[in-house]
């Protein structure tokens, strides 16, 4: 089976490696262009999927827009049997979706139709869900709305961060993808339509969504901190300066929302009900550090207030 693979971030690497490890014929990997970084923007950083593909000698395509006619013609010439999409970062148009003879398959880190959209891992934690999973689906022109081929559920650890859950689901997605393609080769899969009435959504994370609101209960504050760890990081302000917080644990404590109650053995901040003990911080313009180191550096003291 000739496979063309679309993906960009670290999340997409395990599924690609699983396909190659199982002997699937990956004819090309499609990813986003290298991104310039540094003050002068002169250093180009390759997407993780590109590095993984090059290490295995797989051709890499990096179109600025996958709707470009020249790129569509390239894909047509490759004559793929199936396309696989894992966090590619671009919407694929119908003319591209129609090229693989067995369709374009998406690996989505939720149990569709729940959490359609760009940030299902983070929103699963933000919403306090106890269960999520991975879905292998046939893509259509809608937003994660195509027929389901295969699903694997996963219990969410109450203390899991967004990064940890993403890593778990990436490994599960690799397993589910290999299983689905093997069944697809033998016509052993029957697509089933999604129940659109049950759909929920996980939109792209905004700066406002990442802001900590101390007027909310400590349980909610802790979920925001965990769900956005390590990226983009939940943020708050202290004396008008932005600080990102990581490693949140709910404890029993009373006080004004946002008040620093203690800086011994970490950082204790009260919310509307209860309090949150924070393990690590990242002040604006500085690296991530333990809360204890920040306290010793006089970054914060008891009696101050986060807003």
Q: Mind listing the pLDDT tens digit for each residue in 186-241?
A: 888 899 999 999 999 999 999 999 999 999 999 999 999 999 999 999 999 999 99
Largest CA distance in the chain: 66
* Across 134-151, average pLDDT: 96
* Residue among 274, 279, 269 nearest 305 (CA): 269
- In this prediction, residue 276 carries a pLDDT of 97
- In this prediction, residue 188 carries a pLDDT of 85
- In this prediction, residue 178 carries a pLDDT of 96
Contact 196, 169 (CB under 8 A): no
Q: So where are the chain's domains?
A: 1-102, 108-135+143-204, 218-296
Would you say residue 106 has pLDDT above 90? yes
CA distance 120 to 117: 6
Q: Do 108-135+143-204 and 218-296 share a fold? A: no
Contact 205, 232 (CB under 8 A): yes
> pLDDT band at residue 25, thresholds of 50, 70 and 90?
very high
CATH class belonging to 218-296: alpha beta
- In this prediction, residue 92 carries a pLDDT of 95
- In this prediction, residue 289 carries a pLDDT of 96
- DSSP per-residue letters across 157-222: PTT--HHHHHHHHHHHHHHHHHHHHHHHHTT----B---GGG--B-PPPPTTTTB--TTS-HHHHH
Residue 126 in 3-state DSSP?
Answer: helix
CA distance 236 to 244: 6
> pLDDT band at residue 23, thresholds of 50, 70 and 90?
very high
Mean of the per-residue pLDDT values of the chain: 95
Would you say residue 282 has pLDDT above 80? yes
* Residue among 146, 145, 9, 159 nearest 90 (CA): 9
Q: Which fold has domain 1-102?
A: Rossmann fold (3.40.50)
> pLDDT band at residue 263, thresholds of 50, 70 and 90?
confident
CA distance 126 to 203: 12
DSSP state of 32: P
For the domain bounded by 108-135+143-204, which CATH number is listed?
3.40.50.170
For 101, list phi and psi in degrees, rounded to 5.
-65, -25
Q: Mind listing the pLDDT tens digit for each residue in 162-177?
A: 999 999 999 999 999 9
Percentage of the residues of the chain whose pLDDT score is greater than 70: 100
Would you say residue 38 has pLDDT above 80? no
Higher pLDDT, 296 or 38: 296
Would you say residue 37 has pLDDT above 90? no
- In this prediction, residue 189 carries a pLDDT of 87
């Amino acid at each position: 089976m000739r496979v063309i693979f679309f993906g960009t971030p670290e999340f997409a690497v395990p599924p690609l490696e699983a396909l190659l490890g199982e002997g699937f014929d990956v004819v090309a990997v499609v990813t986003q262009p290298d991104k310039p970084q540094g003050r002068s923007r002169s250093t180009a950083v390759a997407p993780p999927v590109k590095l993984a593909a090059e290490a295995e000698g797989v051709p890499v395509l990096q179109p600025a827009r996958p709707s470009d006619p020249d790129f569509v013609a390239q894909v047509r010439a490759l004559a793929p049997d199936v396309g696989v999409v894992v966090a590619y970062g671009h919407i694929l148009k119908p003319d591209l979706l129609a090229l693989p003879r067995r369709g374009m398959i998406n690996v989505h880190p939720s149990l569709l139709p729940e959490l359609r959209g760009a940030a299902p891992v983070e929103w699963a934690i933000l919403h306090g869900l106890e269960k999520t999973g991975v879905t292998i689906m046939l893509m259509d022109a809608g937003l994660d709305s195509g027929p389901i081929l295969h699903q694997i559920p996963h219990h969410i650890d109450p203390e899991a961060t967004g990064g940890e859950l993403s890593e778990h689901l990436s490994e599960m997605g690799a397993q589910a993808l290999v299983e689905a393609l093997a069944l697809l080769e033998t016509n052993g899969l029957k697509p089933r339509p999604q129940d659109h009435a049950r759909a929920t959504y996980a939109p792209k994370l905004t700066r406002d969504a990442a802001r900590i609101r101390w007027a909310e209960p400590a349980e909610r504050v802790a979920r925001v901190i965990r769900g956005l760890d390590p990226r983009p990081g939940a943020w708050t302000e202290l004396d008008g300066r932005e600080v990102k917080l990581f490693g949140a644990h709910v404890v029993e404590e009373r006080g004004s929302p946002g008040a620093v109650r203690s800086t011994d053995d970490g950082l204790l901040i009260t919310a509307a009900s209860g309090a949150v003990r924070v393990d690590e911080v990242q002040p604006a313009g500085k690296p991530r550090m333990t809360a204890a180191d920040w306290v010793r550096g006089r970054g914060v003291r008891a009696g101050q207030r986060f807003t």
